[in-house]
A and B are shown apart, each in its own frame.
Chain A
Amino acid sequence: MTMISRRTLFKGAGAATLATLASPAFAEDKVKVGFIFLGPIGDYGWTWAHNKGREALVSELGDKIETIYVENVAEDASAIPVLRDLAQQGCKLIFTTSFGYMDQTLEVAAEFPDVKFEHCTGYKRADNVATYNSRFHEGRAVLGTIAGKMSKTGVLGYLGSFKIPEVVLGVNSFALSAQKQNPAAIVKVLMIDSWFDPPKEAAATETLINLGCDLVTTHTDSPAPLQILEQKGLFGFGQGADMSAFAPNAHLTAIEDIWGPYYIDRAKAILEGTWTSTDTWDGMVDGEVVISPYSAAVTADAAAAADIVKAGYMDGSFNIFTGPIYDQDGVERVKAGEVMGLGDLAVMDWFVKGVESAA
């Protein structure tokens, strides 16, 4: 295993240069698999979970493959040289683990037709670019159910990053689920235009609380919001990983992203020469979205309601995106009995009724 990391003294310097510096002396027979990460692997959230997946890959196939990763790659043009560098180092498979790498992935993939790319949470594919995603919204349905049962004010906060389909789905799933428990529940959405900015996440959480939310869920990557909730004696959920260590009382449960099995599958496909450009969207039933154990603070009836949703997703009998669904203006967008397909969900850009948002 080779790690190219900006965690060292050089952190923040041009990642591409560093990737070049650390390239020599690989065992030639091992297949190289590259990863680019949005945040630091120590974020205890999104990037941390992807890195856990990478570690699972190494422990499963470490004798046949080696991995190279680059942290803190911005979602702008600076991702392009990093990707090029990974390809030039001989990576046969490269995972680009954030939505904002979409066009950069396609651009570099066109230059390296022999290298396979996998873009996480995007929707653009090519012969050598596959996409993969998790049905996080299934997890959000469980969280929303607990939130709807446990909120006293019925005003829920949703701290988001950007208005992209993944986040919109999360908001809608959370809101619809909460409304099943408490029809009057409303969800206040606050997008902070960043995935990782602990001070801003903290201030945003304080803002949502001040605007009447007594429970805040997060769709950004640090445990900062949970720590604010802990200080205020309120509740929230972990994102990406079990964050209970940061907020033992406030942390009700978390959505854990389990990427390992998918990474292992895809690396095996490269080794066996069976890799094709696919669009994978796994969920709870595949073990890719896992709900952490409930904390003691989760009431019995909230836990029971949440378990029903969980069981429904495990046996396929439940889908939160089942009509009738109304948008923010009260217009019926999905008719009674209709179920939104994954194709519709992948491009969902409108919020459901009861969501209060700036845009």
Chain B
Amino acid sequence: MSPDFIIAAIITVVGLSTPILLAGLGELVVEKSGVLNLGVEGMMLVGAISGFAVTVYTFNPWFGVLGAAAGGALASLIFAVLVLQLNSNQVATGLALTIFGTGISSLMGLSFTGRIVMPFTSVFPDVLAKHDYLRLIFGYSPLVYFALIMVPLTTWFLKSTRAGLILRAVGENDLSAHSIGYSVIKVRYAAIAFGGAMAGIGGCYFSMVITPMWAEKMTAGRGWIALALVVFAGWRTGRLFAGAYFFGILMALELYAKASGFSFLPSQFWAAMPYAMTVIALSFISSRGTAGANAPACLGKPFLPST
């Protein structure tokens, strides 16, 4: 295996991992605040079309990314109003958000089918971005670096800031947080909007970076993998990062194995791997007796203060 071959394979893995890492980080924060939003797939699609549309109109991918974040956040706020204000069931509402996001993105995308934009690739000079070896470091879209920076930032926010502590408190025991004067609803609104924005940016990675076009349902189920990833990671950012790349490597391995003529395992096996690994990870965590130590105690429960 030549270095070229390995570098190209790594670049493929990065492309597969980045969108689920972005969406997974957002969902992790949402779940840490005690809300389960199953609408990741829908928010990714809304982000994908929003980012693409803004890029078409402004010719500026940076605005496109902002548009994707705004689109994802707006979609998530519909969910937020329903579950926070009206105390609707989070699982059902999240699923509805996926269905809604799929539909509204198709509708928004009607006039954008068949158009393309410039791919949002590396902003480094070609000397670095297209260099035989240095492209391994400099050859990616800015969104890849953004995702990587967001990993320690999110960790730092959750672990070391006052706001992060409040967010976790809200997720662990909403009534206590409420009784000492924190606004559970406001914190959760902020967390949900952040999750939506991150899912939106993850979605626009498809429509602006990998394949700079819009196609209906183009995320093809990656939102569900991002959801599995959060559980796989046991609600820890570091493990989420590792998990995203682990899933990315699994997806790439499937392709490389098949394209190289190996057929020792059926492809359905590979396709099921991210989910199977999540189940295995969950069982493993449970067997160590630390189950639930990381799952926020209020996850998925409506906030119903008595006063």
Do the two shown chains form a genuine complex with each other? yes
- Chain B: minimal CB distance from A72 (Å): 7
A280 at the interface (CB under 8 A from B): no
A333 at the interface (CB under 8 A from B): no
Chain B, 239-279, contact with A by CB distance < 8 Å: what is the 0/1 string?
A: 00000000000011001111111110001100100000000
A13 at the interface (CB under 8 A from B): yes
- Chain B: minimal CB distance from A11 (Å): 3
- In the complex where A198-B211, A206-B15 touch, is A44 in contact with B114 (Cβ < 8 A)? yes
Q: Are A44 and B215 in contact (CB under 8 A)?
A: yes
- In the complex where A199-B206, A203-B15 touch, is A9 in contact with B100 (Cβ < 8 A)? yes
Chain A, 80-94, contact with B by CB distance < 8 Å: what is the 0/1 string?
A: 000000000000000
Q: Are A11 and B102 in contact (CB under 8 A)?
A: yes
- Chain A: minimal CB distance from B17 (Å): 11
- From B103, B110, B259, A188 is in contact (CB under 8 Å) with B259
- From B206, B210, B212, B252, A207 is in contact (CB under 8 Å) with B252
- In the complex where A44-B215, A198-B211, A204-B255 touch, is A7 in contact with B106 (Cβ < 8 A)? yes
Q: Are A44 and B113 in contact (CB under 8 A)?
A: yes
- From A193, A199, A210, A245, B5 is in contact (CB under 8 Å) with A210
Given the complex, which residues of B lie within 8 Å of A188, measured CB to CB? 259
B12 at the interface (CB under 8 A from A): yes
- In the docked arrangement, what's the CA distance between A141 and B221, Å? 34
Given the complex, which residues of A lie within 8 Å of B257, measured CB to CB? 358
Residues of chain A in range 11-42 having any CB-CB distance to chain B below 8 Å: 11-13, 39-40, 42
Chain B, 10-22, contact with A by CB distance < 8 Å: what is the 0/1 string?
A: 0110011001000
A208 at the interface (CB under 8 A from B): yes
Which of A219-227, A263-271, A319-327 has 4 or more CB atoms under 8 Å from chain B? Answer: A219-227
Q: Are A357 and B114 in contact (CB under 8 A)?
A: no
Given the complex, which residues of A lie within 8 Å of B19, measured CB to CB? 199
- In the docked arrangement, what's the CA distance between A44 and B5, Å? 32
Q: Are A8 and B107 in contact (CB under 8 A)?
A: yes
Q: Are A358 and B262 in contact (CB under 8 A)?
A: yes
Q: Are A196 and B217 in contact (CB under 8 A)?
A: yes
Given the complex, which residues of B lie within 8 Å of A223, measured CB to CB? 211, 213, 215
Q: Are A203 and B252 in contact (CB under 8 A)?
A: yes
B188 at the interface (CB under 8 A from A): no
- In the docked arrangement, what's the CA distance between A222 and B215, Å? 8
- Report the contact-size class of chain A (Cβ under 8 Å from the partner): 35 or more
- In the docked arrangement, what's the CA distance between A12 and B15, Å? 27
Q: Are A10 and B99 in contact (CB under 8 A)?
A: yes
- Please name the residue on chain B nearest to A224 by beta carbon: B211
Q: Are B220 and A359 in contact (CB under 8 A)?
A: no
- In the complex where A9-B107, A11-B102, A191-B258 touch, is A202 in contact with B211 (Cβ < 8 A)? yes
A197 at the interface (CB under 8 A from B): yes
Q: Are B251 and A12 in contact (CB under 8 A)?
A: no
- From A11, A44, A210, A224, B99 is in contact (CB under 8 Å) with A11
B115 at the interface (CB under 8 A from A): yes
Q: Are B106 and A206 in contact (CB under 8 A)?
A: no
- Please name the residue on chain A nearest to B262 by beta carbon: A358
- Chain B: minimal CB distance from A71 (Å): 8
- In the docked arrangement, what's the CA distance between A311 and B12, Å? 41
- From B109, B213, B220, B268, A197 is in contact (CB under 8 Å) with B220
- In the complex where A12-B102, A208-B259, A359-B263 touch, is A40 in contact with B217 (Cβ < 8 A)? yes
Given the complex, which residues of B lie within 8 Å of A6, measured CB to CB? 103
A106 at the interface (CB under 8 A from B): no
B19, B102, B255: most-surrounded residue (chain A CB, <10 A): B255
- In the docked arrangement, what's the CA distance between A245 and B215, Å? 13
Q: Are A203 and B16 in contact (CB under 8 A)?
A: yes
- In the complex where A197-B220, A198-B220, A206-B12 touch, is A43 in contact with B258 (Cβ < 8 A)? no
- In the docked arrangement, what's the CA distance between A11 and B267, Å? 28
B107, B109, B110, B220: most-surrounded residue (chain A CB, <10 A): B220
User: What is A's interface to B at a CB cutoff of 8 Å?
Assistant: 6-13, 39-40, 42-44, 72, 157, 188, 190-194, 196-200, 202-204, 206-211, 222-224, 227-228, 231, 245-246, 356-359
Across the A-B interface, give the 10 residue pairs with the lowest CB-CB distance, nearest first.
A11-B103, A40-B216, A358-B263, A210-B8, A197-B220, A358-B258, A12-B99, A190-B259, A207-B255, A359-B263
Q: Given contact pairs A9-B100, A199-B222, A211-B256, enumerate 20 new A-B contacts (beta carbons under 8 Å).
A: A8-B107, A39-B217, A42-B216, A44-B215, A188-B259, A190-B259, A193-B268, A199-B19, A199-B218, A203-B15, A204-B255, A206-B12, A207-B259, A209-B8, A210-B5, A228-B211, A231-B121, A245-B116, A358-B263, A358-B267
Residue pairs across A and B with Cβ atoms less than 8 A apart, 21 shown, are: A7-B103, A9-B103, A42-B110, A42-B216, A44-B114, A190-B259, A192-B267, A193-B268, A202-B15, A203-B15, A203-B255, A204-B259, A223-B213, A227-B116, A227-B119, A227-B213, A228-B210, A231-B119, A245-B115, A358-B263, A358-B267
